Structure 1
Amino acid sequence: MSKLSIKRKLLVYNILIQTFILIILSLSIYKTLHISTLDKMETSLKVIVLDIVDDLIKHQDEFLSVDFDEEKEYKFKPLYIRLINDKEEIEKSTKFPKDLPISFHEIEKDAIHFEKFESFIVGEIKFSMLNKDFVLQVATDYKILNETMQNLFYILIFIIPIILIFSISGGYFLVYKSFKPVEDILTNLKEINSSTLSRRLSPAQSLDEIGMLTKEINSLLQRLEISFEKINQFSSDASHELKTPLTIIRGEIEIALRKDRTSQEYKKSLQSCLDEVMIIQQTIDDLLFLAKNEDLANNLEDVYIDEVTFEAVKELKPFAKIREIEIKSQIDDVFQIKGFSKLLKIAVKNILKNAITYSYKNSSVLIKNYIENKNYIISIEDKGIGISKKEQKKIFEKFYRTDKSRNKESGGTGLGMAIVEKIIKLHNAKIELISEEKKGTTVKFIFKRKINE
Structure 2
Amino acid sequence: MKINLSIKKKLLIHSFLIQTIILLIFSFSLYKALEISTTDKLEATLKVIILDVTDDLLENKQISQTLLNEEKEYKFEPLYIRILDNKTHEKIIQTENFPNNIEHDDKYLNNLKEDIVTFEKQNNYLVSRIKIDFHGEKVVIIEVVTTKEILTSTLENLLYILSFILPIILIFAVIGGNFIIYKSFLPIENILDELKQINANDLSARLKTTNTKDEIYQLINEVNNLLSRLENSFERISQFSSDASHELKTPLTIIKGEIEVALRKERSVNEYKETLTTSLNEICVIEQTINDLLFLAKNEKDLIIDKQEEFYLDELTDESINELKNFAKLHKVGVTLEVKDSLELLGFPNLLKIAIKNALKNAIQFSNENSKVIIKIFKKDDFLNISIQDFGIGIAKEEQNKIFEKFYRTDKSRNKNSGGTGLGMSILKKIIDIHKAEINIKSIENQGTTISFSFHIK
- TM-score, normalization: structure 1? 0.84
Say whether 1:300 aligns with 2:308.
yes
Cα 1:70/1:261, change in 2 over 3 Å: same
Cα pair 2:363 2:373 within 8 Å, conserved: no
2:372 maps to what in 1? Answer: 365
Cα 1:388/1:350, change in 2 over 3 Å: same
Which residue identity lines up with residue 424 of structure 2 in the other structure?
G
1:441 maps to what in 2? Answer: 448
1:400 maps to what in 2? Answer: 408
Q: Distance in 2 between matches of 1:62 and 1:42?
A: 25
Cα 1:145/1:269, change in 2 over 3 Å: same
Cα 1:38/1:391, change in 2 over 3 Å: closer
CA deviation after TM superposition for structure 1 residue 344, in Å: 3.5
Cα pair 2:82 2:91 within 8 Å, conserved: no
Cα pair 1:81 1:94 within 8 Å, conserved: no
Q: Distance in 1 between matches of 2:240 and 2:309?
A: 29
1:9-58 CA distance string (max 9 Å, x none) = 33333322222222222222212222332232233233333334444554
Q: Distance in 1 between matches of 2:349 and 2:436?
A: 14
Cα pair 2:390 2:449 within 8 Å, conserved: yes
Which residue identity lines up with residue 205 of structure 1 in the other structure?
N
Q: Distance in 2 between matches of 1:319 and 1:92?
A: 130
Which residue identity lines up with residue 32 of structure 1 in the other structure?
A
Say whether 1:277 aligns with 2:278.
no
1:326-374 CA distance string (max 9 Å, x none) = 314151514233334443443333333333333444x403313043753
1:242 maps to what in 2? Answer: 248
Q: Distance in 2 between matches of 1:420 and 1:95?
A: 112
2:122 maps to what in 1? Answer: 117
Cα pair 2:64 2:93 within 8 Å, conserved: no
1:198 maps to what in 2? Answer: 204
Secondary structure of the equivalent of 1:329? strand
Farther off after superposition, 299-308 or 147-156: 299-308
1:231 maps to what in 2? Answer: 237
1:142 maps to what in 2? Answer: 148
Q: Distance in 1 between matches of 2:318 and 2:117?
A: 113
Q: How many residue pairs end up in the alignment?
A: 447
CA deviation after TM superposition for structure 1 residue 178, in Å: 4.4
2:97 maps to what in 1? Answer: 95
Which residue identity lines up with residue 97 of structure 2 in the other structure?
K
1:259-312 CA distance string (max 9 Å, x none) = 333333322222221121111011111112212224339633344343344444
Q: 1:416 aligns with which of 424, 427, 446?
A: 424
CA deviation after TM superposition for structure 1 residue 236, in Å: 1.4
Q: 1:326 aligns with which of 326, 333, 348?
A: 333
Say whether 1:9 aligns with 2:15.
no
Say whether 1:289 aligns with 2:295.
yes
Identical columns (%): 51
Secondary structure of the equivalent of 2:346? strand
Farther off after superposition, 371-380 or 150-159: 371-380
Q: Distance in 2 between matches of 1:291 and 1:68?
A: 106
Q: 1:221 aligns with which of 207, 224, 227?
A: 227
Structure 2 gaps, min length 5:
none
Q: Distance in 1 between matches of 2:387 and 2:116?
A: 114
CA deviation after TM superposition for structure 1 residue 398, in Å: 0.7
Q: Distance in 1 between matches of 2:101 and 2:452?
A: 115
Say whether 1:36 aligns with 2:34.
no
CA RMSD between the two structures: 3.5
Cα pair 1:433 1:441 within 8 Å, conserved: no
Which residue identity lines up with residue 235 of structure 2 in the other structure?
E
1:171-228 CA distance string (max 9 Å, x none) = 4455445444444444444433323333333444344444444433333333332222
1:100-142 CA distance string (max 9 Å, x none) = 4588894656655544332333345566489566665433222
Matching of residues 145-160 of structure 1 within 5 Å = 145-160=151-166
Cα pair 2:57 2:67 within 8 Å, conserved: no
1:265 maps to what in 2? Answer: 271
Which residue identity lines up with residue 315 of structure 2 in the other structure?
E
2:27 maps to what in 1? Answer: 26
- TM-score, normalization: structure 2? 0.83
Secondary structure of the equivalent of 1:95? coil
Say whether 1:63 aligns with 2:64.
yes
Secondary structure of the equivalent of 2:324? helix
1:67-103 CA distance string (max 9 Å, x none) = 7443333221222345567794665533223344588
Q: Distance in 1 between matches of 2:241 and 2:75?
A: 100
Secondary structure of the equivalent of 2:393? coil
Cα 1:77/1:354, change in 2 over 3 Å: same
Secondary structure of the equivalent of 2:97? coil
Q: Distance in 2 between matches of 1:339 and 1:87?
A: 103
Structure 1 gaps, min length 5:
none
Q: Distance in 1 between matches of 2:20 and 2:410?
A: 80
Q: Distance in 2 between matches of 1:291 and 1:414?
A: 15
